[in-house]
A = this chain, B = another copy of it.
Amino acid sequence: MSELNLRAERLDAADALAPLRSRFALDDVVYLDGNSLGALPAHVPDRVADVVRREWGELRIRSWTESGWWTAPERIGDRIAPLVGAAPGQVVVGDSTSVNVFKALVGAVRLAGDDRTEILVDATTFPTDGYIAESAARLTGRTLRALTPDEVPGALGPRTAAVLLNHVDYRTGRLHDLPSLTAAIHAAGALAVWDLCHSAGALPVGLDEHGVDLAVGCTYKYLNGGPGAPAFLYVRRELQPRFDSPLPGWNSHAEPFGMSPRYAPAPGAARGRVGTPDILSMLALEAALDVWDGVDIDAVRAKSLALTDFFLECVAAYTEPGRVEPVTPAEHGRRGSQVSLRCDDAGEVMKRLIEAGVVGDFRQPDVLRFGFTPLYTTFADAERAARILGSLLR
């Protein structure tokens, strides 16, 4: 047994979060793709079966009230809120991330007022944010400028309406400085919209503490809500009364069953709703959030950094120098919960890694991406993944 192997054993033995792994359905595969699709929490299948057989099959229409379906979007939003540092009443669940980016960005532009004519967007972002930002700019008559997060402070000005940024870059795993960027955006009088897809459930976000205006996030990565589980939208409490959604569906009406031809927006987080929520996906997510009971997000962050540190150390030890190059920052303050390695033949390497029982993913053009979910990833997983990677690259 190698020294790193022994270290992994000791680290796992000392890990206070280690027992959480038993809350998930896992097997012998080293699953380092929880940043794309989180693993199945073990109790979710029974809950989904109950929703289908009893709530839909037996209670049918009565479940909208009796099984709490109608209020699920806000109720589940309040379950996510503490994980992203939000007080209750500001997060609502529903629709895809892309649709929520649209609501948030058009909403932000309207809050900024007519004299602010430019939207700034992270040029390195997951593409959908850029595409949707372009549509939001076009429909609201604003211009759109794409730039790197580092360039944002220098680009802000009296014309800036809103800035859409990713908290963690999906490709490199770089963590951006949410507090200082938000402060700079506010100093310019603009609104800060953050995409938390790769940070929610992986590290503390502190939405309220840092005065973020609007945010969106994904629930099927580090929150393990299941494939295509609905995304969430955060609108800071002070902004809610003026939040003017571009998708004012009947679920966001102050009296949805009044069936009034006049639209009157609901107060609070419900204003971010649109149409009928997809209950099966939503209640699977609600059940999945049970795994967070008693879990401290700071402890999750500490383990995440320890895991990625250890993985980088193992990669360095097991891989011939120069064969891969880490693109995820070494500095803790700039690292999310993933490690991305540049590698010339990344597509082929990832294919062989998966065949060898180590599941990460490949991102164009040359990135091997490994996600670390502290709730279920072990140090032994990190060591084994690096060891197999090293052997494949020889």
Contacts and interface: CB of A to CB of B under 8 A. Distances in A.
A53 B57 contact: no
A96 interface: yes
Interface stretch (A2-10, A243-251, A298-306, A318-326): A243-251
A261 B281 CA distance: 29
A153 to B, nearest CB: 21
A275 interface: yes
Given A25-B57, A49-B49, A227-B63, A249 B284 contact: no
B36 A52 contact: no
B250 A128 contact: yes
A267 interface: no
Interface stretch (A13-21, A132-140, A182-190, A383-391): A132-140
Contacts of A55: 227
Contacts of A48: 48-49, 52, 280
Interface in A274-297: 274-282, 284
A258 interface: yes
Given A102-B247, A131-B250, A60 B31 contact: yes
Contact of A249 (B99, B106, B279): B99
A259 interface: yes
Interface stretch (A75-83, A173-181, A228-236): A228-236
B57 A45 contact: yes
Contacts of A96: 95, 249, 274-278
Given A45-B52, A275-B97, A134 B364 contact: no
Nearest to A72: B228
Residue among A25, A146, A171, A249 with the highest chain B CB neighbour number at 10 A: A249
Contacts of A45: 49, 52-53, 57
A281 B99 CA distance: 17
Given A99-B99, A128-B275, A139-B139, A123 B261 contact: yes
A58 B24 CA distance: 11
Interface of A: 25, 27, 31, 33, 36-37, 39-40, 44-45, 48-49, 52-53, 55-58, 60-64, 69, 95-99, 102, 106, 123, 126-128, 130-132, 134-135, 139-140, 146, 171, 220, 226-231, 245-251, 253, 257-261, 263, 274-282, 284, 359, 361, 363-364
Q: Which 6 A-B pairs rank lowest in CB-CB distance, beginning with the nearest?
A: A96-B275, A98-B249, A98-B275, A227-B279, A128-B250, A40-B57
20 contacts: A25-B53, A39-B57, A39-B60, A40-B53, A45-B49, A45-B53, A56-B226, A60-B359, A62-B359, A95-B95, A96-B276, A97-B275, A106-B139, A130-B263, A132-B249, A226-B279, A226-B280, A228-B278, A228-B282, A280-B281
